[in-house]
Amino acid sequence: MEKKNVPSLVKDQQLIHKRREQIIKGAVRLFIEKGFHRTTTREIAKESGFSIGTLYEYIGKKEDVLYLVCDAIYDEVTERLKKQLHTTGPALQRLKEAIRAYFLVIDSMQEEVLVMYQETKSLPKETLPYVLKKETEMVDMMEEILADCKKENVLNLSEKEMKLVTHNILVAGQMWTFRRWALRRHFTLEEYIDMQIKQLIST
Amino acid sequence: MEKKNVPSLVKDQQLIHKRREQIIKGAVRLFIEKGFHRTTTREIAKESGFSIGTLYEYIGKKEDVLYLVCDAIYDEVTERLKKQLHTTGPALQRLKEAIRAYFLVIDSMQEEVLVMYQETKSLPKETLPYVLKKETEMVDMMEEILADCKKENVLNLSEKEMKLVTHNILVAGQMWTFRRWALRRHFTLEEYIDMQIKQLIST
Amino acid sequence: MEKKNVPSLVKDQQLIHKRREQIIKGAVRLFIEKGFHRTTTREIAKESGFSIGTLYEYIGKKEDVLYLVCDAIYDEVTERLKKQLHTTGPALQRLKEAIRAYFLVIDSMQEEVLVMYQETKSLPKETLPYVLKKETEMVDMMEEILADCKKENVLNLSEKEMKLVTHNILVAGQMWTFRRWALRRHFTLEEYIDMQIKQLIST
Amino acid sequence: MEKKNVPSLVKDQQLIHKRREQIIKGAVRLFIEKGFHRTTTREIAKESGFSIGTLYEYIGKKEDVLYLVCDAIYDEVTERLKKQLHTTGPALQRLKEAIRAYFLVIDSMQEEVLVMYQETKSLPKETLPYVLKKETEMVDMMEEILADCKKENVLNLSEKEMKLVTHNILVAGQMWTFRRWALRRHFTLEEYIDMQIKQLIST
DNA sequence: TATGAATGAGTATTCATTCAT
DNA sequence: CATGAATGAATACTCATTCAT
């Protein structure tokens, strides 16, 4: 749960939090529109509602904004998903619902998720581990439910197979964003979800 | 098979071809190393073996290089794959071999494939359709084999399901490159191939 | 003895004096380390022990700090020197002791003196005369002793020659700081002092 | 005689030489007027007669301009001085003429010399030794003549004394520039020269 | 009085692109 | 056709200064 420490010249932690939310909100919009590299720091400042000088009171360098953005998107995806997860009931049903919930969250945050995946390579080197760790956490969440399925004997998968299915689930979700140009032509979201669930859990 | 027309000041088509191969070769190396945005035209020219002036005799703008590169990588993936494809024999076996061949090609061109997918969003707007079309061609190739399987009654999939499986196959291949940080920890390439084939064609 | 009036928003003169001493102390350290231009007002404030806002309660602009610093250094040099000066005894001996004392003071305040000479050109235009006046006062001090020597007939110099020798004395002192990279290689301070005295007063 | 290698993107050595002369000429004027720190690279480019982009084809960073300038001034001082030096005749006379020539050169290049001494501390770290070396060369030149005087028994100085006198001579020259605010009030250049010669060589 | 967040003009430097040779 | 010098718009980042609290 640790986060990379992004340097700030401002002391007031609450203010930092507030301003960074503004920054993230403004930057996401811009990154969606034109990508990280084509967005200038001045644009980020303006979109955030303050001056360039103020922007740099809350970050150390432009790349920090990208980290804040990716981190925030991940947090939101995870958080929204967690809210939808059931903790009781048959494991297989919980799994299917988890996948559905995950896909729905992704769909509702399409643009953001796309940004996150496309700009990951531009993240400051030191922060990449922090972001990948978040991915790992999601993997773990899914894997846990799959493990429950195994315990309940409704899914007969080896450890490795479970690992693979988990990755396939996550990728199928992301795929809905980065291949939408092709998928949208053939499937509605509901169709896509149903079919992928069927494919992924071939029961 | 049509390609976007990248403007050149030079008339001699053969020369154009030769120089552009140099450009592509040089640029790929650089894009792999530092990404499109962080690579300068000067570096591309130098790595290609000629001056910045000459570079601009063969392209209109920097983005054109990216198009040439992506286009070339796609061509090579497709070409290499085609060479491996059997045209006779049981469809199901051909399918499995196609998937295996595809994954092997991707693995052997990891870095290039990564560049291609990561920089897609930076492609000149007009060229995006040309690149997506290539993707579509690959989809079609795979789908055709899947169709054969259906004809031979070894695979019981609806039209839509076939479409989905095809996309899943392609994405599973790409996934081997852009999620290698996680996958490599758990699977060898051979394991990955075998397990994905099993997963994708749950027969 | 007049000083340039550096504007302050604060009324309490005692407080002004106290705070400015803090400023000078902090700034000198920084100027020695990195020079005036490379030192930021924030750093000065921090080193002085208070906030940037407070700093600007006691100065009008950054350059004022430089004036305060130069002024303070001059004052200290003068003050320390005065403490060492004898007012009785043979003039020639008093002269030699004055030169020695001056060189010793300079040596003990090397860094400060260096700052003063190197940054003089960055002083606010209006304050330059005030600083030069201090120099003049030192010149006068030395000249007075030289005049005594003349009165006592131990030194046979014209008015002009006296002026020149005075300047040479002062410069020889400063020289010990700004040419130390060369002088230190050849002379100890004591040697330097003895030889310069001999040179300057060729008696 | 070696010079620090200032990086250039341009190949043609002659062109580099020509452009750098333009840069030096333009920069000197500006540095005299407002100092190194207050001069912007754009101003330097404009004054040099070309664009900011072109400026950076011939230097690596702003500080390089300062090095070029200081180096050029030293070269010119040395060169002009050398032209004036006699190599035959009585050593003492040659010494006096050398001092006179040196002071005249300094006087004719007052502003440049001032810049050189005032901005030395802003020189790029790596280049400082190169500049100090030039100073040392001048010291050596003077010392040689002094040595000749000793050989001819017209000057009775120890080795150390010779070193000191040499430095005193050089500093007396510089002093004419950086203390002119005081010296001009009392001496004409000719007076200053004559009196300093007398003072320095107390014969 | 003291604080420190906000400001935005200012600055060095880069780099895609052009064009004369 | 090839070269590489010239260009200048663009950009990340800094920092003196202000002002509301």
Q: Model confidence at D203, in pLDDT bands (50, 70, 90)?
A: low
Q: Is residue B95 within 8 Å of residue B42, measured between CB atoms?
A: no
Determine the pLDDT at residue B3: 86
Q: How far apart are CA A60 and CA D133, in angstroms?
A: 40
Could you report the per-residue pLDDT of D170-191, keeping only the tens digit for each?
999 999 999 999 999 999 999 9
Question: Which is nearest to A97 in space by CA: A138, A113, A110, A89?
Answer: A89
Please list every residue in chain C whose beta carbon sits closer than 8 Å to the beta carbon of residue D123.
none
Q: Model confidence at C202, in pLDDT bands (50, 70, 90)?
A: confident
Q: Is the pLDDT of residue D104 over 60?
A: yes
Q: Is the pLDDT of residue B138 over 80?
A: yes
Determine the pLDDT at residue A137: 93
Q: Model confidence at C24, in pLDDT bands (50, 70, 90)?
A: very high
Determine the pLDDT at residue B39: 97
Q: How far apart are CA D116 and CA D134, in angstroms?
A: 12
Q: Is the pLDDT of residue B1 over 60?
A: no
Determine the pLDDT at residue D2: 82
Determine the pLDDT at residue A7: 97
Amino acid at A66: L
Q: Which residue has the tokens 């006179």?
A: D100
Question: Which is nearest to D117 in space by CA: A194, C119, A4, A198?
Answer: C119
Determine the pLDDT at residue C54: 98
- Chain centroid to Cα C197, Å, comes to 20
- Chain centroid to Cα A71, Å, comes to 8
Distance from CA of C80 to the nearest CA of D (A): 23
Could you report the per-residue pLDDT of C161-195, keeping only the tens digit for each?
999 999 999 999 999 999 999 999 999 999 999 99
Residue B76 burial by Cβ neighbours in a 10 Å radius (0-12, 13-18, 19+): middle
Cβ <8 Å between A122 and B163: no
Q: Does residue A62 lie within 7 Å of nucleic acid chain F, judged by its CB?
A: yes
Q: Model confidence at A130, in pLDDT bands (50, 70, 90)?
A: very high
**How much is the average pLDDT of C15-43?**
97
> Residue A139's closest chain B neighbor by CA?
B182
Could you report the per-residue pLDDT of A150-202, keeping only the tens digit for each?
999 999 899 999 999 999 999 999 999 999 999 999 999 999 999 999 999 97
Determine the pLDDT at residue D202: 79
Distance from CA of C49 to the nearest CA of D (A): 27
Helical segments of chain B, H only: 13-34, 41-48, 52-58, 62-84, 91-108, 110-119, 128-151, 159-178, 180-186, 189-200
E runs forming strands in chain C? none
Q: Does residue A178 lie within 7 Å of nucleic acid chain E, judged by its CB?
A: no
Could you report the per-residue pLDDT of A26-60, keeping only the tens digit for each?
999 999 999 999 999 999 999 999 999 999 999 99
The fraction of chain A above a pLDDT of 90, given in percent, is 95
Q: Is the pLDDT of residue B100 over 70?
A: yes
Amino acid at C32: I
Determine the pLDDT at residue A198: 94
Determine the pLDDT at residue B49: 97
CA/C1' separation A193–F6 (Å): 58
Query: Per CA to C1' distance, which residue is closest to F9?
Result: D53
Question: Which is nearest to C105 in space by CA: C132, C136, C142?
Answer: C142
Determine the pLDDT at residue D151: 94
CA/C1' separation D21–F16 (Å): 35
Taking each helix axis from N to C end, the angle separating A91-108 and A110-119, rounded to the nearest 10 degrees, works out to 80
Determine the pLDDT at residue D13: 96
Q: How far apart are CA B110 and CA B177, in angstroms?
A: 6
Of the candidate ranges C1-10, C19-28, D129-138, the one whose mean pLDDT is the lowest: C1-10
Cβ <8 Å between B160 and A202: no
CA/C1' separation A71–E4 (Å): 28
Contacts with D39 (C-beta within 8 Å, 6 or more apart), sequence order: D27, D30, D31, D33
Residue C109 DSSP one-character state = T
Phi first, then psi: give them for residue A36, nearest 5 degrees.
Answer: -60, -50
Output the pTM of the full model.
Answer: 0.94
Q: Is residue B177 within 8 Å of residue B106, measured between CB atoms?
A: yes
Q: Using the Cα atoms of residue B60, residue B65, residue B70 and residue B74 in order, give the sign of their dihedral.
A: positive
Give yes or no for C40 touching D (CB within 8 A).
no
Start-to-end Cα distance in chain C: 35
Cβ <8 Å between B195 and A160: yes
Q: Is residue D72 within 8 Å of residue D51, measured between CB atoms?
A: no
Q: How far apart are CA B2 and CA B134, in angstroms?
A: 10
Q: How far apart are CA D198 and CA D203, in angstroms?
A: 7
Give yes or no for D100 touching C (CB within 8 A).
no
Tokens of C165: 């020798």
Determine the pLDDT at residue A180: 94
Q: Is the pLDDT of residue A140 over 70?
A: yes
Could you report the per-residue pLDDT of D109-119, keeping only the tens digit for each?
999 999 999 99
Q: How far apart are CA D24 and CA D21, in angstroms?
A: 5
What one-character-per-residue DSSP string does D34-53 give? H-STTS-HHHHHHHHTS-HH
Determine the pLDDT at residue A203: 59
Please list every residue in chain C whose beta carbon sits closer than 8 Å to the beta carbon of residue D35.
121-122
Question: Which is nearest to D138 in space by CA: D193, D192, D186, D98?
Answer: D98
Q: Is the pLDDT of residue D32 over 70?
A: yes
Tokens of A36: 């990280």
**How much is the average pLDDT of B50-71?**
98
Tokens of C46: 């921090």
Contacts with D107 (C-beta within 8 Å, 6 or more apart), sequence order: D176, D177, D189
Mean pLDDT (chain A) is 95
Q: How far apart are CA A90 and CA A99, in angstroms?
A: 15
Please list every residue in chain B whose beta carbon sits closer than 8 Å to the beta carbon of residue A187.
160, 163-164
Q: Which residue has the tokens 């291609």?
A: B116
Cβ <8 Å between D136 and C192: no
Could you report the per-residue pLDDT of B34-45, keeping only the tens digit for each?
999 999 999 999
Q: How far apart are CA A27 and CA A68, in angstroms?
A: 9
Q: Model confidence at A1, in pLDDT bands (50, 70, 90)?
A: low
Q: How many CB pairs under 8 A join C and D?
A: 75
Mean pLDDT (chain D) is 95
Please list every residue in chain B whose beta carbon sits closer than 8 Å to the beta carbon of residue A172.
168, 171
Q: Does residue D51 lie within 7 Å of nucleic acid chain E, judged by its CB?
A: no
Q: Is the pLDDT of residue C2 over 90?
A: no
Q: Model confidence at B2, in pLDDT bands (50, 70, 90)?
A: confident
Q: What string of H, E and C letters represents the secondary structure of D160-202?
A: HHHHHHHHHHHHHHHHHHHCHHHHHHHCCHHHHHHHHHHHHCC
Q: Is residue B31 within 8 Å of residue B10, measured between CB atoms?
A: no
Could you report the per-residue pLDDT of C106-123, keeping only the tens digit for each?
999 999 999 999 999 999
